[in-house]
Amino acid sequence: MIVAGVMSGTSADGINVALVRVASARRARTRGLLDFELLGHAEYPYPITVRKFILATMNSQRASVADLARLNFLLGELYADAILATQRRFRVKAELVGCHGQTIYHQGDAAAFLGRKLAVTWQTGEGAVIAARVGLPVVSDFRPADMAAGGKGAPLVPYLDFLLYRDPRIGRIVQNIGGIANLTAIPAGASSAQVIAFDTGPGNMVIDAVMERLFRKPYDRDGRVAASGTVLNRVVVDILRQPFFRLRPPKTAGREEFGREFAQKFMRRCGRAASRDVAATTTALTARSIAESVRRLVLKKQGSYREFIVSGGGARNPTLMTMLAVELRPLGLRMHSSDEFGLPSEAKEATAFALLAYETWNRRPSNMPSATGAKRPAVLGKISYA
Ligand SMILES: Nc1ncnc2c1ncn2[C@@H]1O[C@H](COP(=O)(O)OP(=O)(O)O)[C@@H](O)[C@H]1O
Ligand SMILES: [Mg+2]
């Protein structure tokens, strides 16, 4: 079956579409797991006004209900356009769509609300609109089922990481650096229950916010600004003392933790430092928080993991990658790009949602309780029929 996976992450940079051929594996060794092949991948930036609106909505204490309803339908249209354009470009017709949607709020931990304690999440982008425009069934809204089963609703991509990167002899850590950075650690010869996965903290989110604020740029292209500055070490050390970084997994983060407020506090801590030094420091914060997470929360003994595989937009920032490599070397980890393993770095998350949709279509669970903290496996998502 050919499935179109559609992802738009917390960076709100745009829409990624992956066309994936999926089948249930027949080989005895991998029975129960999926076989898949990426047929094509394309990326569509959101129009500037849409990105601005999404970012404002995610950060706001008050939003208009009418506008939220409109955004839901608008994104449905944009996702449908993106899928149709990708099908034309690769001359491939999908049979099913898996669409993550745009997260506008995520709170993985239960908190009191009107007399109940609730963990909640909201991904928007109307599945019924996509189904009608594209003429295909659509699986959307993946996270609530995991949360209803007691999980944090994230991360879900470890399902793909396990399929791709498990190895009988090599322990691997897979790091995605999107708006938020998250890792999946797969010990050598692990079963899916032994996988560790959690959000390590900010990925590009704070870097982007600093660039917007101090340079009027959406991001630090090729890490050039950060490369020209000097890291304020004391600020990084200070911030890494915050509770989130010390929490044990499972744990998730979003704009609620590392959004505009965090960025403002971060810039205040940098005091009168030159803008380029602030950019260098926020880049170091991402690198250091990843390395610290690996050291404190993953590595039990030196050498139990050998390979460190990076994906996501952050992998395109050479300054960040160099800082990270320097941090990882003493831990005995070698850095690789997801591209080296046959899946282009930027296509990974969209591919994951194609696989998750395929599982849902076949009524099979695809959350990973070891990663999300769910009490049980859950069939994820809701289906809209064309
Ligand atoms: N050439 C580049 N140089 C530096 N940073 C980049 C580059 N390309 C992408 N990025 C960063 O990656 C981010 C998008 O990453 P992505 O993996 O799409 O995140 P998300 O999953 O949150 O949407 C951009 O906002 C930007 O910060
Ligand atoms: Mg993105």
317 lines ligand 1 (CB under 6 A): yes
Ligand showing the shortest atom-to-Cα distance for residue 312: 1
What homologous superfamily is domain 2-157+346-384 in, according to CATH?
ATPase, nucleotide binding domain (3.30.420.40)
Architecture of the domain spanning 168-341: 2-Layer Sandwich (3.30)
Contact in structure between 6 and 355 (CB atoms under 8 Å): no
Q: Please tell me if the CB atom of residue 199 comes closer than 6 angstroms to any atom of ligand 1.
A: no
Whether residue 252 has its Cβ less than 6 Å from ligand 1: no
Phi, psi at 140, each rounded to 5°: -140, 175
Q: To test the ligand 1 pocket, which listed residue (204, 228, 349) has its Cβ within 8 A of the most ligand atoms?
A: 204
How many A from CA of 112 to the centre of ligand 1? 34
pLDDT digits (tens, 9 = 90+) for 75-129: 999 999 999 999 999 999 999 999 999 999 999 999 999 999 999 999 999 999 9
Ligand nearest to the CA of 178: 1
Q: How far is the CA of 179 from the centre of ligand 1 (A)?
A: 7
Q: How close is the Cα of 216 to the center of ligand 2, in Å? A: 19
Q: Is the CB of 103 under 6 A from ligand 1?
A: no
Ligand found nearest the CA of 254: 1
Residues 318-349 as b or e (16 or more Cβ within 10 Å = b): ebbbbbbbebbeebebebeebbebebebbbbb
CA separation for the pair 370, 321 (Å, rounded): 28
Res 216: pLDDT: 96
Residue 30's pLDDT band (boundaries 50, 70, 90)?
low
Q: Are 97 and 6 in contact (CB under 8 A)?
A: yes
What residues does 346 pair with on adjacent strands? none
Q: Where in the chain is the domain with CATH 3.30.420.40?
A: 2-157+346-384, 168-341
Contact 201, 289 (CB under 8 A): yes
Taking the centre of ligand 2 as the mean of its atom positions, its distance from the CA of residue 99, in whole angstroms, is 13
Q: Quote the pLDDT of residue 286.
A: 98
The H or E element that residue 327 is part of is helix 318-328
Summarize the confidence of residues 355-361 as an average pLDDT: 97
Ligand 1 binding pocket includes 316 (Cβ within 6 Å): yes
Q: What whole-number percentage of the chain has pLDDT above 70?
A: 97
